[in-house]
Amino acid sequence: MSLTPGHLLVIDDDPDVLTAAALLLKRRFSKVVTESQPQRIPELLQTSGWDLILLDMNFSAGARNGEEGLYWLEQITRLQPSAAVILMTAYGGVETAVQAMKRGACDFVLKPWHNERLLATLHNAQRLRASEQALGQWQARGRELTATTQSPSLIGTSPAMQAVYRYIERAGPTDANVLLHGENGTGKELVARALHQASQRAGEVFVSVDLGAVNEQLFESELFGHKRGAFTGAHADRCGRLQAAHGGTLFLDEIGNLPLPLQSKLLSVLEQRVVVPVGSNAPVPIDVRLISATNMALPELVRQGRFREDLLYRLNTVQITLPPLRERTSDIPLLLDHFLEHYCNKYKFPLRQIGQETREAAARYPWPGNVRELRHAVERAVIMSAGERLETHELLPVNPPAQAVLQTAPSTLDLDSLEKQAIIAALKQHGGNVSHAARSLGLTRASLYRRMEKHGL
């Protein structure tokens, strides 16, 4: 029989209990230490790290109220809070043991115990401890990244962007749920991060989930977590993103992709502020601020029966609509200069220049992929350009359909037609490869497929 990794400390004044525990547990755990004197607990905690501690609740002769156990529980949680404490009590002390669990104990067992029940309790406590430690590390890493990562800032002085800034200034400090609406590439995650930084949760974790990139079979596990054995492949407990975002902000991008059954479960989480992992019946309290984003018309999805109206009301306490780049063309020069400097520094190239003709061409181009497409275009041009100045053909598509888009842009105001032509141009340029075409347009594959379906391509 293989040993379970783990250091176990058993504390009881009854030598028979200690002997029975040692005989049973030393065959199961890598290290088991027994101790009859609770006064040695501080010393034992300082000299070794313990995964599990089995603690009796009464030590003095005739003691029955469990006060000694509560006292030593307090010392253990203060000196070594990472240890999982399981209390041992007789039948009469069950009520006290339940009270002790509210003070930090993990579980309790009744004496005399059943061996299999005791082992199951210890293994469950060990898995819970490992899960909580992983969650703590995840959240600490998230807080570290939030504090140290310089997220790209929102750039633009156009009236459309000024309206966005005002929304962030007003809604950011609140805990209100926010729904961001806008085309792909308009900077919805940047706005979500700006809202987080403006909130009282700025020092906590910011967790982002792109629901458009999650396998539909994994939606539930990704959001709500799962217990080991909940389904094929669930080899260990896993906390979901809602639990990982506890205390901070959860950003759900592409919220319109969430299947209807999970929309109901998400609504329940938002109303009750608890989450139940897949394969578990135990609710886990959570405290998160939710920011959602979509490029879909959610009211239309509601009319089609594909999105819950009550969930939509929950999500859009505040709604912020992000303008497409074609509606804020005065910001294009600022964006060009920002990305040009960024990528020249990133690739350690001398700072390039952008001529007036190229700037004017960029202002006329419809940018169906919005700021994301412009960013990728500047990065590609910086890498491929051989001169000190970026030329128009290096920044913008050069195939005939794309040129037609450029030529007709000043006189054609049919934005759907311009978008369709740009998609056709990208597909032809990349020989029908959807992945490459999506990348050149600054879109995800899923988004490009939706637009192709929209235009009958």
In order of their start, the domains of the chain are 4-132 (3.40.50.2300), 155-321 (3.40.50.300), 324-396 (1.10.8.60), 398-457 (1.10.10)
Q: pLDDT digit string (tens) for 201-219?
A: 998 889 888 887 777 667 7
As a whole number of angstroms, the distance between CA 18 and CA 70 comes to 20
Residue 431's pLDDT band (cuts 50, 70, 90): low
- For residues 419 and 366, what is the distance between their CA atoms, to the nearest angstrom? 8
413 exposure class (CB count in 10 Å sphere: 0-12, 13-18, 19+)? exposed
- Name the E strands within 204-253: 206-210, 249-253
pTM greater than the 0.75 cutoff? no
Strand order across the beta sheet in which 249-253 lies: 206-210, 249-253, 289-294, 178-181, 318-321
CB-based contacts of 98, cutoff 8 Å, min separation 6: 108
Q: Which of 63-67, 189-193, 257-261 has the highest mean pLDDT?
A: 189-193
Residue pLDDT, tens place only, 331-342: 999 999 999 999
Give the residue-averaged pLDDT of 28-45: 90
Question: What CA–CA distances, in Å, run from 421 to 183, 228, 441?
Answer: 17, 50, 12
What CA–CA distance (Å, rounded) separates 190 from 236?
Answer: 33
Q: Tell me the C-alpha distance between 273 and 287, whole Å.
A: 7
Residue 348 pLDDT > 50: yes
How far is 92 from 109, CA to CA, in rounded Å?
12
For 261, what's the count of Cα atoms within 13 Å in the CB-facing half-sphere? 4
Compute the distance between CA of residue 314 and CA of residue 289 in angstroms, rounded to an integer. 12
Per-residue CA distances from 445 to 166, 259, 434 (Å) = 32, 19, 7
Query: And the tokens for 58?
Result: 């009464």
- Strands (DSSP E) contained in 84-210 are 84-89, 107-110, 178-181, 206-210
Average pLDDT score over residue span 111-126: 84
Phi, psi dihedral angles at 2 (to 5 degrees) = -80, 145
